[in-house]
Chains A and B, each alone.
Chain A
Amino acid sequence: MGKLEIKADRYDFKEDIDYKMRFPNGLSEKTIKNLSDIKGEPNWMKEFRLNAYRFFSRRPMPSWIDGLDQLNLDDISYFALASEKKSTSWDEVPQKIKDTYDKLGIPEAEKKALGGVEAMFDSTVVYNNVREELKKEGIIFCDTDSAVKDYPELVKKYFGKVVSPNDNKFAALNSALWSGGSFIYVPKGVKVKLPLQAYFRINAANLGQFERTLIIADEGADVTYIEGCSATTYSKESLHAAVVEIIAMKGAHVKYITIQNWSSDVYNLVTKRAFAYENAYVEWIDANVGAKLTAKYPSVYMLEPGAKANILSIAFADKDQHQDAGAKAVHLAPATSSVIRSKSICLNGGRTTYRGLVKIPRGSRDSSTSVTCDALIFDDYSRTDTYPYMEISEESADVSHEASVGKIGDDQRLYMESRGIPENEGINMIVLGFVGEFVKELPLEFALEFNRLIKINMENAVG
C-alpha cells in the first residue's frame, strides 16, 4: 500500500494562494502592534495583547513537555491573510479557498447536518454562516474579531476571564496574537439542535495560527460545537496555539467536540478550559490524530454545586508523533462530578502521554470523580506514559481510577488471521473497537468520517 497515498488525497493538498499579506518570520512587540492596527481594534484589546506579550516574554518554555525544545519561534510567521473578506455565502469565497473546503466536504456537511459553519483559513475567518431559524432565536455564532466590534459588552465581560493571558506561555502567546476563532452566545433556555461547526485549515508554510474561541451558554442553554482541523504537509514546522474558553451558566449544557488532524509538522499547543456553574454540564470530546506534538489538557472548573464534567480524550500517535494529552477536573463546589476517560494508541515509534489532574479540595462535599486510562501499544518502539495526578482533600469524595495498557502483538494479529480476517482488517477492528466510545459521542456524519480517518491512518501506518 502506498505510504500516505490516501491521506494525501484527502487532507494533504495545497492551494497556491496570492496572500494579501504575510508577516515576515519572527516575533516582537512591533508584530503585536501591527496586528492590532491592521484589525482596527479598540484600545483595550491592543493593551490586552501587549500585556499578554510581556507575560509571554517573561515565561520560560515549559520544560516538562518532551519535544518542545525543537520548536523555533523565530522561524514562524505570525499572520497570513489569504482573503480580505469574510463571506456568508460559499459562492463569494475566493475560488481556491473554496476548493479547499469543498475537498474537505464542509459545504456538503453544512447542508445536511449543521446549524452553522465557520471556516478559518490560515489567520482569518473566510466564511461564516448560521441558519436563519437560529439567528431568530438570538444565537450568535461569528468569528471572534467580528465579535469584538459587534458585541463589545459580551466580549469585554468574558474574554480572557476563563483562561487568563498569564495562564501559561502559549496561552500568553495566543492572547498576544490571537486572530479568528469562534464566538458563540446561546441565550437563556435556547437549545441548539444542530451542531455548530468550525473548520481550521493551515495552508501556508511556517505559519502560526492562533484562533481564539469563546462560548457562552446562558442559563439552561444547550449547544454542541464541533471543530475540525487539518493542514498541508511541509517539511518546515508550523504552530497552532489556540485558546478556548467556555462559560456554562446555571443548568446549561455545552458539548465541545474536536477532531484534530493536523499534518505531522504542526506543533499543537492548546489551552481549553470551561467554567461550569450550578448544575451545568460541560463535555470535552477530544480526538488527536494528527500533529507532530500535541500538548492539550481540556479542563472543567466546577464552580457551583451540581456542576458536571465529562472529558473524553482519544490520542493516536504514529511515527515521529507525540500526543501529550489529558484532562483537568477542578471541583470547587459540593456535589460536583467528573468523568475522565482517556484512550490512546501508539505505533511505529509514536508516543502517547496521559496527563491528568483532579482536584477535590476540602469543602467540596459529596463530589465524585472517575478516571479511566487505556493505552494500546503496537510494538516495542512505541511508548506510552500515564501521569494521573489526584489532589483529593475532601473526605466524602468518591474517587475511582483505573488504568490499563494493552499490547497488540503478533499473537493477536495471527489469531484474527487464522479465522480468515486479513491483517489490516483485523487491526482496524481492534482500533475501531478501542475508540468506539469516542465515536458514539459524535453525530452520525462525523462518526463515519472519523472511522474513515482512523482507517486511513492505520492503513498508512501498518502498510
Chain B
Amino acid sequence: MENRIDIEKLSVRIKEKNLLREVSLHVKTGETHILMGPNGSGKTTLARAILGDKRYTVTEGRIEFNGADMLKLKPHERARMGIFVSFQEPVTLQGVNTLSFLKASYESINSTKVTMSEFKNIVGKNLQRIGLPESVNERYVNEGFSGGEKKKFELLQLLLLKPKIAILDEIDTGLDLDSMKVLSNAVNEMLPETGFLIITHNDRILKHIKPTLVHVMKEGSITRSGGLELVEEIEKGGYKIG
C-alpha cells in the first residue's frame, strides 16, 4: 500500500519568531528525499512540526497523511499512524529500562501484545545487526550512551518500528562507517514499504542511497529542489546557491 505525507505551504513559529515560511514537500512510499541546508535554516523545525511538538505553532498551511489532516493529532497518535521522527539529540530517560521502553513503543505502534521473551528475540537480532551489545537491554534509555550509541539506538527503533514515513534528523551524525552502511542498507531494504525524508549535513550517506529529490532549505524556505547535482554544487560553493 502506498502512503504519503503532504506538507502544504506550512508556516511555523516559536514564540514570536517565524521559523518556516510556506514550506511544501511531498514524500511517499518508495521515495527518499534529502533535506540539506545551513544550521538554523529550519530543517529541525520542520521535523518537529511533523512530530507535533506543541512548542512549535503552525500558523498556516497543512500537513496531511494519506489525505487526512494531521495537525490536530497528538504526537503519539501521529506515531501510531506510522510516522517516525528521529531525534537529533535523543534524551535520557532515567529509571526507564531500555527493553521495556522499546516493548511499550512496539506494542503501541503495532496495536499488539508480545511476550517479553518473544520481544527479546526481535530486539536481539536487530542489536546484532547494528552492533549494539545485548547489555543495552539492561540499561536505562540513553543513559550513559555515547553520541554514536544514541544514534544507533535511534536506528534500532527505526528497524523495530518499521514506520510508513520516516523523518531522520541528522541520524548519520556521529555514526561510524560501519553503522553508516547499516543505515543505508536499512533504508534501501525498507524502501518498498516506507518513504524517507533524511535531514543531513554531509553527503556520505548518499554513497549508498539514491535520492528521489534533494531539497535545499534557507531561512525557513525550500529554495531549491533537484537531483544529486545540487549536492555537488553545495560541495563546491557551500549554501550560497539558490
Contact = CB atoms under 8 A, between A and B. Distances in A.
A415 B91 contact: yes
B76 A412 contact: no
Contacts, number: 80
A414 B86 CA distance: 11
Interface in B11-51: 51
Most buried by A among B52, B95, B96: B95
A415 B80 contact: no
Given A419-B157, A421-B108, A414 B97 contact: no
Which DSSP category, helix, strand, loop or mixed, fits chain A's interface?
helix
A436 interface: yes
B122 interface: no
Interface string A16-32: 00000000000000000
A433 B140 contact: yes
Which DSSP category, helix, strand, loop or mixed, fits chain B's interface?
mixed
Interface string A143-179: 0000000000000000000000000000000000000
B100 A420 contact: no
B79 A419 contact: yes
B95 A415 contact: no
Nearest to B86: A418
Given A417-B74, A418-B87, A420-B108, A412 B93 contact: yes
Given A417-B79, A420-B80, A421-B104, A433 B97 contact: yes
Interface string B63-97: 00000000000111001100011010011111111
A433 B96 contact: yes
B75 A410 contact: no
Interface residues of A, number: 24
B161 interface: yes
22 contacts: A376-B94, A376-B95, A406-B95, A410-B55, A414-B51, A414-B75, A415-B87, A415-B93, A417-B75, A418-B76, A418-B79, A418-B85, A419-B79, A419-B101, A420-B79, A420-B105, A420-B109, A421-B76, A422-B76, A429-B101, A430-B96, A433-B93
10 tightest A-B CB contacts, nearest first: A433-B95, A417-B75, A434-B95, A420-B108, A420-B79, A419-B105, A420-B109, A417-B76, A433-B96, A406-B94
A430 B95 CA distance: 6
Contacts of A190: none
B76 A420 contact: yes
Contacts of B94: 374, 376, 406, 430, 433-434
Interface in A397-416: 406, 410-412, 414-416
Given A422-B76, A429-B100, A412 B91 contact: yes
A415 B109 contact: no
B2 interface: no
Given A429-B104, A433-B140, A419 B93 contact: no
B53 interface: yes
B93 A430 contact: yes
Interface in B116-173: 140, 157, 161
